[in-house]
């Protein structure tokens, strides 16, 4: 059932709002925050114009936004919100509640730095700071990818074996406010794909009364957390099933990660989101110069596909991991995961950490080239390196 | 221009519509079947502060998110930026600089030190004359079309209609289209 759809010039945020329009969730509770605002703004227009019949809850904070979503979700509704940065930080308490209560909420995140200093621009500190809260996380490079992955996230979240919330992350401003060619597939086809939520339990089901949010102390809390882990471990299988179904509509592929010119690549960059686009452009240029370089773009960050990533990197000589956030006093988040993934391998590639782009600092093609050149000439060490940072580049 | 990708940089001040201009350019290009990308360089968003927006047009998918560092074409919406901002930064010798000004191209060449092709158009005068307001961002696109041919004027007209008709009505929309056409005719080397 391929859907041709229509190509339109859209920003990442608008493309996400289009996905939400086609999904027509029962409840959207959200609070505006730069650079997420135009998602909620655009969606509110759709609601005002009667293009969706969603109940929009105008909350006074992100804490309330997520609280309203949790309540709606527990009542059996399909609930969505969107946020980033300080907004995500403010809802943090309920972010953990959403996964603990197994609410299949889908939340687009327009990645933005965490203050201080105050900064409205892109890095991944917000969602990386929430990476251990039990949410599935998918990172997106383009507006197109973000649009399509909202649908993937929805079906994955609501699958009876999963019942977990999902963050669909795009780079704030870089992707969220960049106008690109976006193919919006036919409403009828996407609405059919999204279908209706079929909750396993619902607060409104009078035939099977349930209590939600009960206290569990030393007696059962641990078992509940173990069940969350079980659900997470089932994600990869279901993700691929949903991906295949979505692929039939779009013709696109949705692996846990994308491998670009990896087959004979000696030097590989692993990164996520918009940086992958810039890296791919550099791969093409350096391939024309005869350099054996490749890109591994991680889409699914939680759960992390350790074994598959290790296999994908098994032939590389040297691997540079480019992180758009830091874990102060520890390995940068993506680098740490790649390092973990390689532990069991007998022959490990050289591995180097680079941090770039904090607070919206531009990632230039020359930075990517520098990392590739380091990898091609074996300049691999355990030091932390920075791309585009004043003191490091001087 | 025998390149895979055309890269455009627009200099303006916050509130002058540089962002809308870049969007209009790429939307028209997309309607012509091209791959497009447009994004502003967001800083602290203040009215009147110098700002830049970027546009890329290509026949192949556009992968990079790097800001436009070596533009093929630069549009300067506000002539008072010349001397304040390095508007020709990264431009190659075969680049094209289009400035909204009443000055001549040789005067602009002198001020910027740019040795490539310079075109000027009084987009402010056209705008005040036809729209009754200083909104040079739309007419300047007419100059771009004439000088570079990267987009077709009829696709721009269609997009202007889509953008303005509902908001400001037929008469004012037509005035915007007329402004683009006038700039198209009046731009000079």
Domain count, chain B: 1
| B-chain residues near A8 (CB < 8 A) | 30
Q: H/E element holding B141?
A: helix B139-148
Which residues, 6 or more positions from B100, have their beta carbon under 8 angstroms from its beta carbon? B76, B77, B78, B79, B120, B121, B122, B123, B124, B136, B140
- Whether residues A137 and A168 fall in one domain: yes
- Find the mean pLDDT for residues B157-185: 93
> Is A284 in the B-facing interface, judged by CB distances under 8 Å?
yes
Q: Which of B22, B35, B64 sits opposite A181 (nearest CB)?
A: B35
Residue A203 lies in a domain: no
**Closest residue on chain A to B65 (Cα):** A278
Q: Is A54 exposed, middle or buried (0-12, 13-18, 19+ CB in 10 A)?
A: buried
Tally helices (H) and strands (E) across chain A. 13, 15
Residue A209 lies in a domain: no
- Whether residues A275 and A163 fall in one domain: no
- Whether residues A327 and A364 fall in one domain: yes
Q: Which of B30, B42, B65 sits opposite A274 (nearest CB)?
A: B65
Residue A202 lies in a domain: no
Domain residues for the domain of A286 are 257-393
Residue A201 lies in a domain: no
Cross-chain Cβ contact A178/B39 below 8 Å: yes
User: What pLDDT score was predicted for residue B74?
Assistant: 97
What band does B1 get if pLDDT is binned at 50, 70 and 90?
very low
- Whether residues A185 and A328 fall in one domain: no
- Whether residues A323 and A232 fall in one domain: no
Domain residues for the domain of B175 are 5-186
- DSSP sequence for A206-260: TTS----S----TTTHHHHHHHHHHHHHHHHHHHHHHHHHHHHHH-----SEEEE
- Whether residues A239 and A329 fall in one domain: no
Q: What is the mean pLDDT of each run of 10 residues along chain A (394 residues)?
A: 83 98 98 97 97 97 98 97 98 98 98 97 98 98 98 98 98 97 97 96 93 94 97 98 97 97 98 98 98 98 98 97 98 98 95 98 98 98 95 57
- Whether residues A385 and A236 fall in one domain: no
Residue A101 lies in a domain: yes
Residues linked to residue B51 through DSSP beta bridges, in sequence order: B12
Domain count, chain A: 2
What band does B124 get if pLDDT is binned at 50, 70 and 90?
very high
> Is A181 in the B-facing interface, judged by CB distances under 8 Å?
yes
pLDDT at B4 exceeding the cut of 90: no
- Whether residues A78 and A52 fall in one domain: yes
Q: What is the DSSP letter of A60?
A: S
Cross-chain Cβ contact A179/B39 below 8 Å: yes
- Whether residues A191 and A81 fall in one domain: yes
User: What pLDDT score was predicted for residue B46?
Assistant: 81
- Whether residues A300 and A191 fall in one domain: no
Q: Which of A171, A173, A365 sits opposite B64 (nearest CB)?
A: A365
pLDDT at B15 exceeding the cut of 90: no
Residues linked to residue B9 through DSSP beta bridges, in sequence order: B54, B74
Cross-chain Cβ contact B30/A174 below 8 Å: no
User: Mean pLDDT for chain B?
Assistant: 93
What is the CATH classification number for the domain harbouring A370? 3.40.50.920
What is the CATH classification number for the domain harbouring B110? 3.40.920.10
How close does chain B come to A382, measured CA to CA in Å?
28
Cα separation of A89 and A110, whole Å? 13
What is the CATH classification number for the domain harbouring A234? 3.40.50.970
- Whether residues A13 and A84 fall in one domain: yes
Phi-psi region of A148 (alpha: psi -120 to 50; beta: other; left: phi over 0): alpha
| A-chain residues near B23 (CB < 8 A) | 9, 179
Tens digit of pLDDT for each residue in B73-90?
Answer: 999 999 999 999 999 999
Q: What ipTM score was computed for the predicted complex, to two decimals? A: 0.93
Residue A73 lies in a domain: yes
Q: What percent of chain B has pLDDT over 70?
A: 97
What band does B47 get if pLDDT is binned at 50, 70 and 90?
confident
Residue A138 lies in a domain: yes
- Whether residues A135 and A67 fall in one domain: yes
Cross-chain Cβ contact B63/A7 below 8 Å: no
Residue A349 lies in a domain: yes
User: What pLDDT score was predicted for residue A149?
Assistant: 98
């Amino acid at each position: 059932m391929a859907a041709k759809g229509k190509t339109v010039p859209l920003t990442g945020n608008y493309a996400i709002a289009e996905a939400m329009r086609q999904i027509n969730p029962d409840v959207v509770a959200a609070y505006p925050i730069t650079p997420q605002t135009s998602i909620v703004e655009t969606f509110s227009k759709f609601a005002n114009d009667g293009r969706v019949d969603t109940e929009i809850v105008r909350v006074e904070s992100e804490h309330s936004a997520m609280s309203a979503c949790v309540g709606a979700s527990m009542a059996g509704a399909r609930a969505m919100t969107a946020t980033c940065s300080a907004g995500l930080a403010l809802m943090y308490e309920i972010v953990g509640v959403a996964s603990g209560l197994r609410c299949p909420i889908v939340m687009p995140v327009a990645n933005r730095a965490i203050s201080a200093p105050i900064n409205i621009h892109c890095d991944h500190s917000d969602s990386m700071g929430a990476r251990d809260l039990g949410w599935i996380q998918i990172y997106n490079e383009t507006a197109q990818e973000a649009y399509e992955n909202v649908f993937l996230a929805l079906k994955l979240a609501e699958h009876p074996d999963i019942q977990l919330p999902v963050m669909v992350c795009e780079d704030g401003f870089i992707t969220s406010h960049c106008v690109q060619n976006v193919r919006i597939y036919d409403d009828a086809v996407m609405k059919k794909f999204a279908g209706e939520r079929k909750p396993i339990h619902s607060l409104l089901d009078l035939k099977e009364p349930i209590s939600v949010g009960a206290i569990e102390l030393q007696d059962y809390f641990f078992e509940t957390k173990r069940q969350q882990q079980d659900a997470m471990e089932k994600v990869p299988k279901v993700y691929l099933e949903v991906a295949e179904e979505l692929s039939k509509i779009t013709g696109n592929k949705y692996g846990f990660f994308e491998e670009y010119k990896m087959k004979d690549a000696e030097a590989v960059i692993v990164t996520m989101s918009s940086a992958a686009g810039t890296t791919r452009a550099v791969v093409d240029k350096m391939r024309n110069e005869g350099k054996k370089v490749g890109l591994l773009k991680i889409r699914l960050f939680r759960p992390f596909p350790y074994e598959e990533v290790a296999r994908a990197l098994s032939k590389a000589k040297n691997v540079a991991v480019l992180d758009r956030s830091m874990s102060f006093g520890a390995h940068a988040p993506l680098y740490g995961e790649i390092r973990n993934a390689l532990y069991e391998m007998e022959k490990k590639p050289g591995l180097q950490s680079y941090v770039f782009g904090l607070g919206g600092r531009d990632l230039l093609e020359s930075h990517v080239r520098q990392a590739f050149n380091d990898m091609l000439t074996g300049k691999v060490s355990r030091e932390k390196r920075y791309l585009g940072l004043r003191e490091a580049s001087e | 221009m025998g390149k895979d990708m055309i890269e455009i940089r627009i200099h303006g001040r916050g509130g002058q519509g540089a962002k809308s201009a870049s969007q209009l350019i790429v939307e028209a290009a997309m309607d012509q079947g091209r791959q497009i990308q447009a994004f502003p360089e967001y800083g602290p968003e203040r009215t009147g502060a110098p700002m830049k927006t970027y546009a890329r047009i290509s026949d192949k998918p556009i992968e990079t998110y790097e800001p436009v560092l070596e533009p093929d074409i630069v549009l300067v919406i506000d002539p008072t930026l010349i001397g304040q901002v390095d508007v020709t930064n990264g431009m190659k010798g075969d680049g094209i600089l289009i400035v909204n000004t009443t000055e001549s191209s040789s005067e602009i060449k002198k001020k910027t030190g740019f040795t490539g092709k310079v075109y000027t158009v009084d987009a402010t005068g056209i705008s005040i004359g036809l729209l009754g307001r200083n909104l040079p961002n739309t007419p300047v696109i007419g100059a771009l079309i004439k000088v570079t041919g990267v987009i077709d004027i009829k696709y721009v007209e269609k997009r202007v209609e889509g953008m303005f008709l509902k908001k400001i009505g037929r008469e004012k929309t037509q005035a915007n289209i007329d402004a683009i056409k006038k700039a198209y005719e009046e731009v000079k080397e």
